[in-house]
């Protein structure tokens, strides 16, 4: 058998696939961390901080329109949003502070009047439709400042108010440097961790899988001494047990096949030797051309034909090319007819074939030829292994809508551990001496196949020293 070269199967080894999958996942996780912690951090922070200040503005606006306590509303807003709050009343182009609440000293909105930025913020807010957000720092409005400023202009009952809320923005310069260092360390640790994890996974998964592959290759080379030490993964252990079971079954099948070849060779040689021997005698000695010698040749030819037919039947069953021709027929009449023929045929050899049944006109639906063949195989088997009294009984009974046919011999019985094996196509009972009709050990396998084709029940009962009873059941047709 041609052996495969190492790594000559195509594809990528499992350990490499696992490594690249882990590496890809780690790189994706690192990319997500960098994007969210560096690129989008400021945007997320501003969005969250602005959202809190917007809600606080809405509450203060509601208090203003309801004529409530503006100073108290400012303090509550500062506590809830963590922002400094100032409320100005705008009149004649100038602003007067009417409420403020600060969470940080020196924040941008503490003294906008003195800094002169109040008017500019007012103008910017008007341009934005009365609601403005900006980054501020020092005394100027800039693009990237130290604080986030939310401003809103409210008009109520002829009065105009401006709400200002300010909170610290993230120190992106220093923070970006710190986060970059942290993420670099995390990246290195994740890559190292991925390598270690790949090694561990390789040992836990790929090693037992590779071992299974090696054992499967041994099995393919007809080396049935396979073994699998197992691992920590249930599915791999289950696969290993399955391969072990398959190896045992293949070894058993291979052994039985060799026994079958030996048996068939012996069974073929016997009738061929008889036919050849008697033919040569009749050719060389004219006086030996007698009806008895001719009958021997005929009988041995029949044995040879029966053996070849059994082999062909098993071959067709194995290749699943057998088809049924089911018809409605009387199984009770068919069974009785077969038993009567066997009784006449084997009477001169001292066998007693009896039929026990009170049932008449039992109809069933199936392939009559195949079912009769199965019955004949059971009777042949019983004749081969019956006891010294050479008796075989066939019984037909009906119960619960099924017709049961039983064939009983008085032989030495079958060991309990062989009851399942007797139906195998390569099985032939050992330690049993054939009597009367020789066989190849294929008859019961043919019976099993016929019963499976009919979806019929079948089985055997046997006790050591008490004989065996083989049976099958078919469904009775109602009138």
CATH number of the domain that residue 464 is part of: 3.30.565.10
Domain C-terminal end among 317, 342, 366: 317
Lowest mean pLDDT among 152-166, 196-210, 408-422, 464-478: 196-210
Closest by alpha carbon to 396, among 462, 330, 348?
330
Region 263-288 average pLDDT: 80
Instruction: List the domain range (segments joined by +) for residue 334.
Output: 323-475
pLDDT score of 134: 78
Decide if pLDDT at 205 tops 80: no
CB atoms within 10 A of CB 377: 23
Decide if pLDDT at 124 tops 60: yes
Q: Indicate whether 95 belongs to any domain.
A: yes
pLDDT score of 476: 94
The dihedral region occupied by 182, where left means phi > 0, alpha psi between -120 and 50, and beta the remainder, is alpha
Q: How confident is the model at residue 57 (pLDDT cuts 50, 70, 90)?
A: confident
Pair (293, 419) in one structural domain = no
Q: How confident is the model at residue 431 (pLDDT cuts 50, 70, 90)?
A: very low
Q: How confident is the model at residue 363 (pLDDT cuts 50, 70, 90)?
A: very high
pLDDT score of 351: 93
Q: How confident is the model at residue 372 (pLDDT cuts 50, 70, 90)?
A: very high
- Distance in Å from the first CA to the final CA of the chain: 60
Q: How confident is the model at residue 303 (pLDDT cuts 50, 70, 90)?
A: confident
Decide if pLDDT at 169 tops 50: yes
Pair (352, 397) in one structural domain = yes
Pair (118, 191) in one structural domain = yes
Region 447-458 average pLDDT: 92
CA distance 300 to 274: 7
CB atoms within 10 A of CB 166: 27
Average predicted confidence (pLDDT) for the chain: 80
CA distance 437 to 300: 11
Question: What percentage of the chain has pLDDT greater than the value 90?
Answer: 18
pLDDT score of 427: 56
Decide if pLDDT at 365 tops 90: yes
Region 10-37 average pLDDT: 77
Pair (184, 42) in one structural domain = yes
Decide if pLDDT at 43 tops 80: no
Q: How confident is the model at residue 433 (pLDDT cuts 50, 70, 90)?
A: very low
Q: Which residue has the higher pLDDT, 433 or 36?
A: 36
Task: Name residues whose C-beta falls within 8 Å of residue 272's C-beta, 6 or more positions apart in sequence.
Answer: 300, 304
Question: What percentage of the chain has pLDDT greater than the value 70?
Answer: 84
| Cα-to-chain-centroid distance, residue 77 | 60
Q: Indicate whether 265 belongs to any domain.
A: yes
Count of domains in the chain? 3
Domain C-terminal end among 275, 301, 317: 317
Pair (186, 333) in one structural domain = no
Q: Which residue has the higher pLDDT, 350 or 132?
A: 350
Closest by alpha carbon to 244, among 221, 220, 219?
219
Q: Indicate whether 234 belongs to any domain.
A: no
Q: Indicate whether 111 belongs to any domain.
A: yes
The structure tokens 């040992």 sit at 203
Q: Indicate whether 247 belongs to any domain.
A: no
Pair (211, 268) in one structural domain = no
Decide if pLDDT at 437 tops 90: no
Pair (25, 134) in one structural domain = yes
Q: Which residue has the higher pLDDT, 276 or 2?
A: 276
CA distance 392 to 421: 23
Specify whether the CB–CB gap between 176 and 38 falls below 8 A. Answer: yes
Largest Cα–Cα separation, the chain: 154
Q: Indicate whether 298 belongs to any domain.
A: yes
Query: pLDDT tens, 105-117?
Result: 767 777 665 556 7
Domain C-terminal end among 201, 219, 237: 219
Specify whether the CB–CB gap between 282 and 293 falls below 8 A. Answer: yes
Pair (353, 312) in one structural domain = no
CA distance 442 to 264: 10
Adjacent-strand bridge partners of 353: 392
pLDDT score of 142: 36
CA distance 42 to 37: 9
- Give the CATH number of the domain where residue 263 resides: 1.10.287.130
Q: How confident is the model at residue 228 (pLDDT cuts 50, 70, 90)?
A: low
Q: CA of 105: how far to CAs of 71, 73, 77, 111, 167, in Å? A: 18, 20, 17, 11, 12
pLDDT score of 1: 42
Pair (310, 295) in one structural domain = yes
Three-state secondary structure along the chain?
CCCCCCCCCCCCCHHHHHHHHHHHHHHHHHHHHHHHHHHCHHHHHHHHHHHHHHHHHHHHHHHHHHCCCHHHHHHHHHHHHCCEEEEEEEECCEEEEEEEECCCCCCCCCCHHHHCHHHHHHHHHHHCCCEEEEEEECCEECCCCCEEEEEEEEEECCEEEEEEEEEECCCHHHHHHHHHHHHHHHHHHHHHHHHHHHHHHHHHHHHHHHHHHHHHHHHHCCCCCCCCCCCCCHHHHHHHHHHHHHHHHHHHHHHHHHHHHHHHHHHHHHHHHHHHHHHHHHHHCHHHCCHHHHHHHHHHHHHHHHHHHHHHHHHHHHHCCCCCCCEEEEHHHHHHHHHHHHHHHHHCCCCEEEEECCCCCCEEEECHHHHHHHHHHHHHHHHHHCCCCCEEEEEEEEECCEEEEEEEECCCCCCHHHCCHHHCCCCCCCCCCCCCCCCCCCHHHHHHHHHHHCCCEEEEEEECCCEEEEEEEEEECCC
Decide if pLDDT at 430 tops 60: no
Pair (65, 194) in one structural domain = yes
Q: Indicate whether 187 belongs to any domain.
A: yes
Pair (124, 212) in one structural domain = yes
Pair (309, 371) in one structural domain = no
Which one of 40-44, 87-91, 108-112 scores highest in mean pLDDT?
Answer: 87-91
Closest by alpha carbon to 203, among 192, 211, 193?
211
Decide if pLDDT at 83 tops 70: yes
Q: Indicate whether 338 belongs to any domain.
A: yes
Region 99-124 average pLDDT: 74
Which one of 174-188, 190-204, 320-334 scores highest in mean pLDDT?
Answer: 320-334
Query: pLDDT tens, 331-360?
Result: 999 999 999 999 988 888 899 999 999 889
Specify whether the CB–CB gap between 436 and 364 falls below 8 A. Answer: no
Region 113-134 average pLDDT: 78
């Amino acid at each position: 058998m041609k052996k495969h070269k190492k790594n000559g199967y195509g594809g990528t080894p499992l350990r490499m696939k696992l490594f690249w999958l882990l590496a890809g996942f780690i790189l994706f996780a690192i990319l997500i961390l960098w994007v969210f912690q560096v690129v989008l951090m400021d945007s997320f922070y501003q969005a969250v901080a602005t959202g809190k200040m917007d809600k606080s503005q809405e509450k203060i606006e509601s208090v203003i329109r309801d004529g409530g306590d503006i100073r108290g509303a400012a303090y509550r807003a500062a506590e809830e949003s963590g922002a400094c709050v100032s409320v100005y009343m705008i009149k004649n182009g100038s602003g007067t502070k009417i409420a403020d609440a600060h969470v940080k000293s020196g924040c941008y909105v503490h003294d906008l009047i003195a800094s002169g930025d109040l008017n500019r913020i007012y103008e910017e807010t008007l341009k934005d439709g009365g609601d403005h957000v900006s980054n501020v720092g020092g005394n100027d409005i800039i693009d990237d400042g130290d604080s986030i400023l939310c401003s809103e202009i409210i008009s109520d009952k002829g009065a105009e108010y401006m709400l200002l809320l300010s909170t610290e923005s993230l120190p992106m310069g220093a923070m970006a440097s710190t986060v970059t260092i942290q993420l670099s360390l995390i990246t290195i640790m994740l890559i190292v961790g991925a390598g270690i994890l790949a090694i561990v996974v390789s040992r836990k998964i790929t090693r037992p899988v590779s071992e299974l592959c090696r054992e499967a290759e041994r099995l393919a080379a007809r080396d049935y001494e396979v073994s699998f030490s197992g691992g920590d993964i249930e599915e791999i252990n289950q696969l290993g047990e399955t391969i072990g079971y398959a190896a045992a079954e293949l070894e058993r099948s291979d052994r039985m096949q060799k026994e079958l070849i030996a048996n068939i060779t012996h069974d073929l040689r016997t009738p061929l030797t008889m036919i050849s021997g008697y033919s040569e005698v009749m050719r060389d000695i004219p006086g030996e051309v007698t009806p008895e010698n001719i009958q021997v040749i005929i009988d041995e030819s029949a044995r040879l034909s029966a053996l070849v037919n059994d082999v062909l039947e098993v071959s067709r069953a194995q290749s699943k090319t057998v088809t049924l021709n089911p018809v409605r027929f009387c199984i009770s009449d068919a069974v009785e007819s077969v038993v009567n023929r066997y009784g006449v045929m084997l009477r001169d050899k001292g066998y007693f074939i009896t039929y026990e049944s009170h049932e008449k006109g039992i109809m069933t639906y199936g392939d009559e030829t195949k079912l009769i063949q199965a019955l004949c195989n059971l009777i042949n088997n019983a004749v081969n292994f019956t006891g010294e009294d050479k008796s075989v009984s066939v019984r037909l009974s009906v119960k619960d809508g099924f017709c049961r046919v039983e064939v009983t011999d008085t032989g030495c019985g079958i060991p309990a551990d062989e009851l399942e094996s007797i139906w195998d196509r390569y099985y032939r009972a050992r330690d049993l001496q054939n009597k009367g009709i020789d066989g190849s050990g294929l008859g019961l396998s043919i019976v099993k196949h016929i019963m499976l084709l009919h979806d019929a029940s079948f089985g055997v009962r046997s006790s050591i020293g008490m004989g065996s009873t083989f049976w099958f059941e078919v469904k009775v047709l109602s009138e």
